[in-house]
Amino acid sequence: MSIEFAIADRGSNADALTELFSASLTASYISHSELQGGRALAPGQWAPDIKAILHREIDSRLREPLKAFPKRDWFGVVQAFDDGALVGLAFVTVTGSAPTPYGVIEDIVIDSARRKAGFGEKFMRWILDAFAQAGIRRTFLESGITNDRAHHLFERLGFKKTSIVMMRDG
Ligand SMILES: CC(C)(COP(=O)(O)OP(=O)(O)OC[C@H]1O[C@@H](n2cnc3c(N)ncnc32)[C@H](O)[C@@H]1OP(=O)(O)O)[C@@H](O)C(=O)NCCC(=O)NCCS
């Protein structure tokens, strides 16, 4: 395996990124941001047009070519390739203007056929290193409350719970 990571830009394949992301959706992935941003209708229930929603989100994040994360406020997509084949994507955001600059890993997905081979950990470490090179030492992420497998990976990499998000309908 020869894994490489790159910041996606307007020349990247938005269709392939959308396919990869939408093929990986499970009910346990849904967290409060999916419910706030229209991706999901209810806990465990994706919006019927989720693929089109993800395509629009990806399009809005594919912009100027970059080799490194900027120090300024920025949002984008990182891609993971294995021997040239797209195997993962992550949505990342840099908030360099905050009192303590921080990064957010908004989404991270590895192709379901390639999981449990260490790609997820390598991808996370690459993103954390890219944040560090942009002067960012603090990283946030959120994940659906039942997404235990992902939480185990994040905790292993040093992430700790900082909030409990509650929601009430009705
Ligand atoms: C979460 C996710 C990104 C992890 O990707 P991954 O490539 O499977 O991650 P890794 O292979 O690095 O680690 C996963 C597990 O495989 C194990 N593993 C890694 N290499 C391995 C190997 N060579 N042989 C056997 N097991 C291995 C790890 O020990 C790890 O288990 P643990 O975290 O319980 O200790 C992936 O499962 C995914 O895309 N899930 C769907 C989307 C999602 O939920 N994203 C997170 C929410 S934002």
In this structure, the residue with its CA closest to atom 21 of ligand 1 is 117
- So what's the pLDDT on residue 158? 98
Are 149 and 121 in contact by the 8 Å Cβ rule? The answer is no
- Quickly tell me which residue has 């292993």 as its tokens: 156
Question: d(Cα 1, Cα 4) in Å, to the nearest integer?
Answer: 10
Give the gyration radius of the chain's Cα atoms.
Answer: 16
pLDDT tens-place string over residues 65-108 = 999 999 999 999 999 999 999 999 999 999 999 999 999 999 99
Q: Which atom of ligand 1 approaches the CA of 88 most closely?
A: 39
pTM of the model: 0.96
Q: How far, in Å, from the CA of 119 to the mean position of ligand 1?
A: 7
Residue 69, ligand 1, Cβ within 6 A: no
What is the CA(153)–ligand 1 centre distance, in A? 6
Query: H-helix or E-strand containing 88?
Result: strand 85-95
